[in-house]
Protein backbone atom coordinates (compact mmCIF):
# COMPACT_ATOMS: atom_id res chain seq x y z
CA UNK A 1 0.00 0.00 0.00
CA UNK A 2 1.29 3.45 -0.92
CA UNK A 3 0.97 5.81 2.05
CA UNK A 4 0.81 9.53 1.26
CA UNK A 5 0.58 11.25 4.67
CA UNK A 6 -1.37 14.50 4.44
CA UNK A 7 0.85 17.56 4.87
CA UNK A 8 4.05 15.46 4.92
CA UNK A 9 7.43 17.18 4.99
CA UNK A 10 10.64 15.31 5.76
CA UNK A 11 12.12 16.43 9.08
CA UNK A 12 15.64 16.02 7.67
CA UNK A 13 16.91 17.21 4.29
CA UNK A 14 18.89 14.93 1.97
CA UNK A 15 22.32 15.72 3.46
CA UNK A 16 21.05 15.33 7.01
CA UNK A 17 19.30 12.10 6.05
CA UNK A 18 22.47 10.53 4.64
CA UNK A 19 24.37 11.43 7.83
CA UNK A 20 21.54 10.14 10.02
CA UNK A 21 21.34 6.83 8.12
CA UNK A 22 24.98 6.15 9.01
CA UNK A 23 24.34 7.07 12.64
CA UNK A 24 21.37 4.69 12.89
CA UNK A 25 23.08 1.80 11.13
CA UNK A 26 26.40 2.08 12.95
CA UNK A 27 24.88 2.45 16.42
CA UNK A 28 22.23 -0.24 16.07
CA UNK A 29 24.66 -2.72 14.49
CA UNK A 30 27.13 -2.32 17.34
CA UNK A 31 24.39 -2.67 19.95
CA UNK A 32 22.89 -5.75 18.32
CA UNK A 33 26.27 -7.48 18.06
CA UNK A 34 27.02 -6.77 21.72
CA UNK A 35 23.55 -7.73 22.99
CA UNK A 36 23.43 -11.09 21.19
CA UNK A 37 27.21 -11.81 21.13
CA UNK A 38 27.50 -11.82 17.35
CA UNK A 39 30.61 -11.65 15.15
CA UNK A 40 30.48 -9.99 11.77
CA UNK A 41 31.15 -12.23 8.75
CA UNK A 42 31.22 -11.74 4.99
CA UNK A 43 28.24 -13.18 3.13
CA UNK A 44 27.51 -14.00 -0.51
CA UNK A 45 25.17 -12.09 -2.78
CA UNK A 46 24.92 -15.07 -5.16
CA UNK A 47 24.56 -18.81 -4.57
CA UNK A 48 24.30 -21.79 -6.88
CA UNK A 49 20.86 -22.91 -7.97
CA UNK A 50 19.48 -26.32 -6.93
CA UNK A 51 21.42 -26.46 -3.68
CA UNK A 52 18.59 -25.39 -1.36
CA UNK A 53 20.74 -22.60 0.09
CA UNK A 54 18.71 -19.67 -1.27
CA UNK A 55 15.69 -18.55 0.70
CA UNK A 56 12.37 -19.51 -0.90
CA UNK A 57 10.46 -16.92 1.18
CA UNK A 58 6.81 -17.95 0.70
CA UNK A 59 7.73 -20.52 -1.93
CA UNK A 60 6.40 -18.61 -4.94
CA UNK A 61 8.81 -15.68 -5.41
CA UNK A 62 11.21 -15.98 -8.36
CA UNK A 63 14.88 -15.29 -7.60
CA UNK A 64 17.09 -13.47 -10.08
CA UNK A 65 18.99 -16.23 -11.93
CA UNK A 66 21.75 -16.21 -14.54
CA UNK A 67 24.24 -18.61 -16.20
CA UNK A 68 27.95 -18.54 -15.32
CA UNK A 69 30.17 -18.87 -18.37
CA UNK A 70 33.18 -20.30 -16.48
CA UNK A 71 30.99 -23.03 -14.93
CA UNK A 72 29.57 -24.37 -18.19
CA UNK A 73 26.54 -22.08 -17.89
CA UNK A 74 25.41 -23.57 -14.59
CA UNK A 75 22.75 -21.35 -13.03
CA UNK A 76 23.41 -19.05 -10.08
CA UNK A 77 20.85 -17.03 -8.13
CA UNK A 78 20.96 -13.68 -6.37
CA UNK A 79 20.00 -14.31 -2.76
CA UNK A 80 16.51 -13.39 -1.55
CA UNK A 81 17.75 -13.67 2.04
CA UNK A 82 20.42 -15.62 3.92
CA UNK A 83 18.12 -17.58 6.23
CA UNK A 84 19.68 -20.93 5.38
CA UNK A 85 23.18 -19.79 4.46
CA UNK A 86 23.75 -18.40 7.97
CA UNK A 87 23.14 -21.74 9.64
CA UNK A 88 25.59 -23.42 7.32
CA UNK A 89 28.08 -20.66 8.16
CA UNK A 90 27.71 -21.35 11.90
CA UNK A 91 28.95 -24.88 11.26
CA UNK A 92 31.70 -23.88 8.84
CA UNK A 93 33.02 -21.16 11.20
CA UNK A 94 32.70 -23.54 14.19
CA UNK A 95 30.85 -20.93 16.26
CA UNK A 96 30.50 -21.85 19.93
CA UNK A 97 27.18 -22.25 21.76
CA UNK A 98 25.87 -18.90 23.01
CA UNK A 99 27.61 -16.95 20.24
CA UNK A 100 26.68 -16.18 16.68
CA UNK A 101 27.27 -14.26 13.47
CA UNK A 102 25.71 -11.35 11.63
CA UNK A 103 26.20 -9.88 8.20
CA UNK A 104 25.03 -7.09 5.93
CA UNK A 105 22.62 -8.87 3.63
CA UNK A 106 21.91 -7.31 0.24
CA UNK A 107 19.26 -9.10 -1.79
CA UNK A 108 16.99 -8.67 -4.80
CA UNK A 109 13.33 -9.66 -4.77
CA UNK A 110 11.95 -8.87 -8.24
CA UNK A 111 8.50 -10.27 -7.44
CA UNK A 112 7.97 -7.85 -4.53
CA UNK A 113 4.84 -5.71 -4.70
CA UNK A 114 6.31 -2.21 -4.52
CA UNK A 115 4.82 0.29 -2.10
CA UNK A 116 5.85 2.59 0.76
CA UNK A 117 7.72 -0.13 2.66
CA UNK A 118 8.58 -2.77 0.01
CA UNK A 119 11.42 -2.47 -2.49
CA UNK A 120 13.10 -4.73 -5.04
CA UNK A 121 16.35 -4.05 -3.17
CA UNK A 122 16.44 -5.52 0.33
CA UNK A 123 19.08 -4.66 2.91
CA UNK A 124 19.01 -6.16 6.36
CA UNK A 125 21.16 -7.46 9.16
CA UNK A 126 20.95 -11.22 8.93
CA UNK A 127 22.02 -12.87 12.19
CA UNK A 128 22.23 -16.41 13.57
CA UNK A 129 23.26 -17.72 16.99
CA UNK A 130 24.09 -21.23 18.22
CA UNK A 131 21.77 -22.52 20.95
CA UNK A 132 21.39 -25.66 23.05
CA UNK A 133 18.60 -28.21 22.88
CA UNK A 134 17.25 -26.74 26.15
CA UNK A 135 17.01 -23.29 24.51
CA UNK A 136 14.39 -24.46 22.02
CA UNK A 137 11.46 -22.96 23.90
CA UNK A 138 9.22 -19.89 23.88
CA UNK A 139 10.81 -18.23 26.91
CA UNK A 140 14.25 -18.26 25.31
CA UNK A 141 12.75 -16.83 22.12
CA UNK A 142 11.15 -14.02 24.14
CA UNK A 143 14.44 -13.24 25.88
CA UNK A 144 16.20 -12.77 22.54
CA UNK A 145 13.35 -10.55 21.28
CA UNK A 146 13.66 -8.36 24.38
CA UNK A 147 17.39 -7.99 23.78
CA UNK A 148 16.80 -6.84 20.20
CA UNK A 149 14.12 -4.45 21.40
CA UNK A 150 16.56 -2.98 23.94
CA UNK A 151 18.93 -2.20 21.06
CA UNK A 152 16.09 -0.49 19.21
CA UNK A 153 15.24 1.63 22.26
CA UNK A 154 18.85 2.74 22.71
CA UNK A 155 19.08 3.65 19.03
CA UNK A 156 15.91 5.71 19.30
CA UNK A 157 17.47 7.71 22.17
CA UNK A 158 20.68 8.36 20.21
CA UNK A 159 18.66 9.66 17.25
CA UNK A 160 16.78 11.99 19.61
CA UNK A 161 20.05 13.23 21.14
CA UNK A 162 21.36 14.15 17.69
CA UNK A 163 18.05 15.31 16.20
CA UNK A 164 15.82 16.63 19.04
CA UNK A 165 12.97 17.30 16.62
CA UNK A 166 12.57 13.50 16.25
CA UNK A 167 10.99 12.56 19.56
CA UNK A 168 10.97 8.95 20.92
CA UNK A 169 7.82 6.96 20.31
CA UNK A 170 8.54 3.32 21.22
CA UNK A 171 6.91 1.99 24.42
CA UNK A 172 9.13 0.86 27.29
CA UNK A 173 8.33 -2.82 26.74
CA UNK A 174 7.46 -5.04 23.81
CA UNK A 175 4.28 -7.14 24.23
CA UNK A 176 4.00 -10.78 23.15
CA UNK A 177 1.05 -12.43 21.43
CA UNK A 178 0.52 -15.68 19.60
CA UNK A 179 -1.21 -15.31 16.24
CA UNK A 180 -4.04 -17.46 17.61
CA UNK A 181 -4.63 -14.98 20.45
CA UNK A 182 -4.93 -12.11 18.01
CA UNK A 183 -7.37 -14.15 15.92
CA UNK A 184 -9.47 -14.64 19.07
CA UNK A 185 -9.38 -10.89 19.74
CA UNK A 186 -10.33 -9.85 16.19
CA UNK A 187 -12.02 -12.88 14.55
CA UNK A 188 -13.73 -10.84 11.84
CA UNK A 189 -10.56 -9.14 10.61
CA UNK A 190 -7.94 -10.45 8.14
CA UNK A 191 -4.35 -10.86 9.43
CA UNK A 192 -3.07 -7.51 8.16
CA UNK A 193 -5.85 -5.62 9.94
CA UNK A 194 -5.30 -7.64 13.13
CA UNK A 195 -1.68 -6.48 13.09
CA UNK A 196 -2.85 -2.89 12.64
CA UNK A 197 -5.14 -3.09 15.67
CA UNK A 198 -2.63 -4.75 17.98
CA UNK A 199 0.26 -2.47 16.98
CA UNK A 200 -1.85 0.66 17.37
CA UNK A 201 -2.93 -0.43 20.85
CA UNK A 202 0.42 -1.64 22.25
CA UNK A 203 3.04 0.24 20.20
CA UNK A 204 5.43 -2.71 19.85
CA UNK A 205 4.49 -6.38 19.66
CA UNK A 206 6.00 -9.73 18.81
CA UNK A 207 3.51 -11.99 17.05
CA UNK A 208 4.43 -15.69 17.36
CA UNK A 209 3.39 -18.74 15.39
CA UNK A 210 3.82 -17.43 11.84
CA UNK A 211 3.47 -20.10 9.17
CA UNK A 212 1.26 -22.71 10.80
CA UNK A 213 -2.50 -22.94 10.29
CA UNK A 214 -4.66 -21.31 12.96
CA UNK A 215 -8.00 -22.51 14.30
CA UNK A 216 -9.83 -20.94 11.34
CA UNK A 217 -7.78 -23.10 8.95
CA UNK A 218 -5.73 -20.17 7.66
CA UNK A 219 -2.17 -18.97 8.24
CA UNK A 220 -1.46 -15.59 9.78
CA UNK A 221 1.28 -15.23 7.16
CA UNK A 222 3.44 -17.50 5.02
CA UNK A 223 6.79 -19.00 6.04
CA UNK A 224 9.11 -21.36 4.22
CA UNK A 225 9.15 -24.85 5.78
CA UNK A 226 12.90 -25.19 6.13
CA UNK A 227 14.17 -22.49 8.48
CA UNK A 228 11.82 -21.32 11.27
CA UNK A 229 10.18 -23.96 13.48
CA UNK A 230 6.52 -22.90 13.24
CA UNK A 231 4.87 -26.30 13.78
CA UNK A 232 6.07 -27.21 17.29
CA UNK A 233 3.12 -27.42 19.70
CA UNK A 234 3.02 -26.48 23.37
CA UNK A 235 0.98 -27.59 26.37
CA UNK A 236 -1.32 -24.58 25.79
CA UNK A 237 -2.05 -25.76 22.28
CA UNK A 238 -0.26 -22.87 20.61
CA UNK A 239 2.21 -23.67 17.86
CA UNK A 240 5.39 -22.02 16.72
CA UNK A 241 8.83 -20.94 17.88
CA UNK A 242 9.06 -17.96 15.55
CA UNK A 243 7.50 -14.57 14.99
CA UNK A 244 7.63 -10.98 13.74
CA UNK A 245 8.57 -7.77 15.55
CA UNK A 246 5.92 -5.21 14.62
CA UNK A 247 5.81 -1.61 15.81
CA UNK A 248 3.39 1.28 15.33
CA UNK A 249 4.66 3.77 12.78
CA UNK A 250 3.52 7.30 13.73
CA UNK A 251 4.42 8.74 10.33
CA UNK A 252 2.45 6.20 8.30
CA UNK A 253 -0.10 5.63 11.08
CA UNK A 254 0.14 1.92 10.40
CA UNK A 255 1.67 -1.30 11.71
CA UNK A 256 5.28 -1.71 10.63
CA UNK A 257 7.19 -5.01 10.52
CA UNK A 258 10.91 -4.60 11.15
CA UNK A 259 12.05 -8.16 11.83
CA UNK A 260 11.18 -11.78 11.11
CA UNK A 261 12.96 -14.33 13.29
CA UNK A 262 12.72 -17.61 15.13
CA UNK A 263 14.23 -20.77 16.53
CA UNK A 264 15.29 -22.84 13.55
CA UNK A 265 14.09 -26.28 12.57
CA UNK A 266 15.84 -29.35 13.90
CA UNK A 267 15.76 -32.62 11.95
CA UNK A 268 12.32 -33.60 13.23
CA UNK A 269 10.73 -30.20 12.59
CA UNK A 270 12.23 -30.01 9.08
CA UNK A 271 10.74 -33.34 8.03
CA UNK A 272 7.39 -32.46 9.63
CA UNK A 273 7.15 -29.09 7.90
CA UNK A 274 8.30 -30.38 4.52
CA UNK A 275 5.49 -32.94 4.73
CA UNK A 276 2.91 -30.35 5.84
CA UNK A 277 3.75 -28.10 2.89
CA UNK A 278 4.22 -30.82 0.26
CA UNK A 279 7.93 -30.17 -0.29
CA UNK A 280 9.32 -33.51 0.89
CA UNK A 281 11.58 -33.72 -2.18
CA UNK A 282 13.68 -30.88 -0.71
CA UNK A 283 15.19 -33.26 1.83
CA UNK A 284 17.48 -34.50 -0.94
CA UNK A 285 18.97 -31.06 -1.61
CA UNK A 286 22.51 -30.29 -0.47
CA UNK A 287 21.58 -27.95 2.41
CA UNK A 288 18.71 -30.06 3.70
CA UNK A 289 20.77 -33.23 3.49
CA UNK A 290 23.49 -31.65 5.63
CA UNK A 291 20.96 -30.62 8.27
CA UNK A 292 19.38 -34.08 8.39
CA UNK A 293 22.83 -35.61 8.86
CA UNK A 294 23.54 -33.41 11.88
CA UNK A 295 26.09 -31.10 10.21
CA UNK A 296 24.46 -27.90 11.50
CA UNK A 297 24.15 -26.72 15.11
CA UNK A 298 20.79 -25.83 16.63
CA UNK A 299 20.23 -22.13 16.21
CA UNK A 300 18.04 -19.07 16.43
CA UNK A 301 18.19 -16.30 13.89
CA UNK A 302 16.45 -13.66 11.87
CA UNK A 303 16.65 -10.58 9.73
CA UNK A 304 16.26 -6.94 10.73
CA UNK A 305 15.51 -4.47 7.96
CA UNK A 306 18.16 -1.77 7.71
CA UNK A 307 16.13 0.56 5.51
CA UNK A 308 13.04 -0.20 7.58
CA UNK A 309 14.57 0.97 10.87
CA UNK A 310 16.16 4.01 9.20
CA UNK A 311 12.77 4.86 7.74
CA UNK A 312 11.15 4.52 11.15
CA UNK A 313 13.71 6.37 13.27
CA UNK A 314 14.05 9.23 10.77
CA UNK A 315 10.26 9.50 10.37
CA UNK A 316 10.25 8.93 6.62
CA UNK A 317 7.08 8.19 4.66
CA UNK A 318 8.66 5.96 1.99
CA UNK A 319 11.49 3.44 2.05
CA UNK A 320 12.84 5.11 -1.09
CA UNK A 321 13.79 8.11 1.07
CA UNK A 322 16.51 6.02 2.77
CA UNK A 323 17.66 3.71 -0.07
CA UNK A 324 18.20 3.91 -3.82
CA UNK A 325 16.07 1.52 -5.86
CA UNK A 326 13.75 1.40 -8.90
CA UNK A 327 10.16 2.63 -8.70
CA UNK A 328 7.23 2.78 -11.14
CA UNK A 329 6.84 6.16 -12.88
CA UNK A 330 3.37 6.73 -11.46
CA UNK A 331 4.65 6.11 -7.91
CA UNK A 332 7.49 8.59 -8.43
CA UNK A 333 4.96 11.19 -9.57
CA UNK A 334 2.54 10.53 -6.70
CA UNK A 335 5.33 10.77 -4.15
CA UNK A 336 6.71 13.96 -5.67
CA UNK A 337 3.28 15.57 -5.45
CA UNK A 338 3.09 14.55 -1.78
CA UNK A 339 6.52 16.07 -0.90
CA UNK A 340 8.09 12.60 -0.69
CA UNK A 341 11.40 12.76 -2.55
CA UNK A 342 12.80 9.33 -3.41
CA UNK A 343 16.54 8.73 -3.77
The active-site residue out of 260, 273, 306, 323 is: 260
Query: Has 257 been annotated as catalytic?
Result: yes
Rounded distance, CA 193 to CA 208, Å? 16
Q: Which of 29, 55, 128, 221 is catalytic?
A: 55
Q: Are the C-beta atoms of 238 and 208 separated by less than 8 Å?
A: yes
- Annotated catalytic residue, options 10, 29, 80, 109: 109
User: Residue 18: left (phi > 0), alpha (psi -120 to 50), or beta?
Assistant: alpha
For residue 303, the surrounding DSSP H or E stretch is strand 299-305
Has 323 been annotated as catalytic?
no
Q: Among this protein's residues, is 97 annotated catalytic?
A: no
How, if at all, do strands 74-78 and 46-48 pair?
antiparallel
Q: Please indicate whether residue 218 is annotated as part of the active site.
A: no
Any catalytic annotation for residue 147? Answer: no
Out of 124, 259, 306, 307, the active site residue is 124
Q: Active-site residue among 257, 267, 290, 334? A: 257
CA 233 → CA 143, 212, 252, 292, distances in Å? 19, 10, 36, 21
Q: Is 104 one of the catalytic residues?
A: no
Residue 9 to residue 224: CA distance in whole angstroms: 39
Burial label for 194, CB within 10 Å (0-12, 13-18, 19+), is buried
The residues assigned a catalytic role are: 55, 109, 124, 244, 257, 260
Amino acid sequence: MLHLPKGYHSILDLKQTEKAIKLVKDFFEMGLASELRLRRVTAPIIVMKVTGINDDLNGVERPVAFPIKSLDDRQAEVVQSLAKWKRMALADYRIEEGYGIYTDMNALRPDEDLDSIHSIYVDQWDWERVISRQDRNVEFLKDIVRRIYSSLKRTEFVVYENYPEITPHLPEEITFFHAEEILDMYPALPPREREYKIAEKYGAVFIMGIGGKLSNGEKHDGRAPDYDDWSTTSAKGYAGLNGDIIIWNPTLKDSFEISSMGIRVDEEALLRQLKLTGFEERKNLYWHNRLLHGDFPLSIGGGIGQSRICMYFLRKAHIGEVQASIWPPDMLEECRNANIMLM
